[in-house]
Amino acid sequence: MPILTRCLLTTTALITLVAPSAAVLAATSSTSSGQTTKGKKATAAHAVVDDNAPSMMGATAPTDQKSENVEVRGKRRANVAAGLMIKEDAPKSRSTVTSEYIEKQAAGLNPMQLIEMLPGVNTTSTDPMGLSGGHMSMRGLTESQIGFTLEGFPINDIGNYAVYPQEIVDPENLRSINVEQGSADLDSPHISATGGAVDMYLLDPKEKLGGKIVGSYGNYNARRVFGRLDTGYIGNTNVKGFISFSDAAENSWRGPGGQNKLHGETKWVSAWGKGNKISFSLIGNQATSQLFPTEYMDTWKEYGSKYAYSATWNPKSPSANYYELHRNPFTNIYASAPSTFTLTDHLTLTETPYFWYGDGNGGGAYSESLTSQQWGAQTMTASIGDHNATNTKSLVVYNPSNTQTYRPGAVTKLTLTTGINRASVGYWFEYSKQIQTGPYSLVNYSTGKPYDLYGGGPNMILANGDTAQYRDSLTQTRIHTMFIADSLSLLNGRLNIEGGLKYSVVNREGHNFLPDTSTGPYINGSWQEPLPAVAFRYKINDENQLFASSTTNFRIPMNTSLYDSGAYSVARGGYATQANPDQKPEFSISDEFGWRYQGSTVMSSISYFHYNFTNRLYTQTVNAGNGQSYSRSINGGNSHADGVDFEIGTRPIFYHIRPYFSAEYIDSRSDSNVAAAGTGQYVLSKGKFTPQTPPYMFGLNLDYDDGHLFGSYSLKYVARQYSTFVNDQHIPSYITMNINLGYRFKDWGPMKAPTLKLNLRNITDRRYLGYVNGTSANAFATTGLYGAKIAGSNSTTFSVAAPFMVMGSASVDF
Would you state the pLDDT for residue 621? 66
pLDDT at residue 160 is higher than 70: yes
Would you state the pLDDT for residue 167? 94
What is the mean predicted confidence (pLDDT) over 513-536?
92
What is the mean predicted confidence (pLDDT) over 465-493?
94
Model confidence over 662-706: pLDDT tens digits? 999 999 999 999 888 666 788 999 999 999 999 999 999 999 999
Instruction: Report the distance separating Cα 467 and Cα 384, nearest Å.
Output: 10
pLDDT at residue 25 is higher than 80: no
Specify the 3-state DSSP secondary structure of 536: strand
Range name among 53-67, 71-85, 127-141, 526-540 with the lowest pLDDT average: 53-67
Instruction: Report the distance separating Cα 21 and Cα 536, nearest Å.
Output: 21
Pairing, β 586-598 against β 544-555: antiparallel
Would you state the pLDDT for residue 69? 45
Would you state the pLDDT for residue 679? 66
Model confidence over 386-421: pLDDT tens digits? 877 777 888 999 999 999 999 999 999 999 999 899
pLDDT > 90: percent of the chain: 74
Would you state the pLDDT for residue 574? 86
Would you state the pLDDT for residue 567? 84
Q: What is the mean pLDDT of the chain?
A: 88
Range name among 23-37, 438-452, 459-473 with the lowest pLDDT average: 23-37
Model confidence over 413-447: pLDDT tens digits? 999 999 899 999 999 999 999 999 999 999 998 99
Is this structure's pTM higher than 0.75? yes
DSSP string, 420-486: TEEEEEEEEEEEEEEEEEEE-B-B-TTT--BS-TTS-SSBPEETTSPBPEEEEEEEEEEEEEEEEEE
Model confidence over 259-316: pLDDT tens digits? 999 999 999 999 999 889 999 999 999 999 999 999 999 999 999 999 999 999 998 8
Query: Residue 1: how many CB atoms within 10 A of its CB?
Result: 10
What is the mean predicted confidence (pLDDT) over 767-780?
89
pLDDT band at 802 (very low <50, low <70, confident <90, very high): very high
pLDDT band at 466 (very low <50, low <70, confident <90, very high): very high
Pairing, β 709-718 against β 696-705: antiparallel
What is the mean predicted confidence (pLDDT) over 141-145?
92
3-state SS of 335-393 is EECCEEEECCCCEEEEEEEEEEEEEEEECCEEEECCCCEEECCEEECEECCCCCCCCCC
Task: Please answer whether residues 702 and 653 qualify as being in contact, where contact means their C-beta atoms are separated by less than 8 angstroms.
Answer: no
Would you state the pLDDT for residue 56? 61
Q: Domain ranges for the chain, please list them.
A: 2-813
Model confidence over 608-658: pLDDT tens digits? 999 999 988 877 766 666 666 777 777 778 999 999 999 999 999 888 999
Domain 2-813: give its CATH code.
Answer: 2.40.170.20
Q: Taking Cα atoms as reference points, which of 258, 251, 366, 255 lies closest to residue 308?
A: 255
Would you state the pLDDT for residue 618? 73
Model confidence over 195-212: pLDDT tens digits? 999 999 999 999 999 999
- Positive or negative, the CA dihedral 139, 144, 149, 150 is positive
Would you state the pLDDT for residue 62? 81
What is the mean predicted confidence (pLDDT) over 122-128?
94
Task: Please answer whether residues 400 and 438 qualify as being in contact, where contact means their C-beta atoms are separated by less than 8 angstroms.
Answer: yes
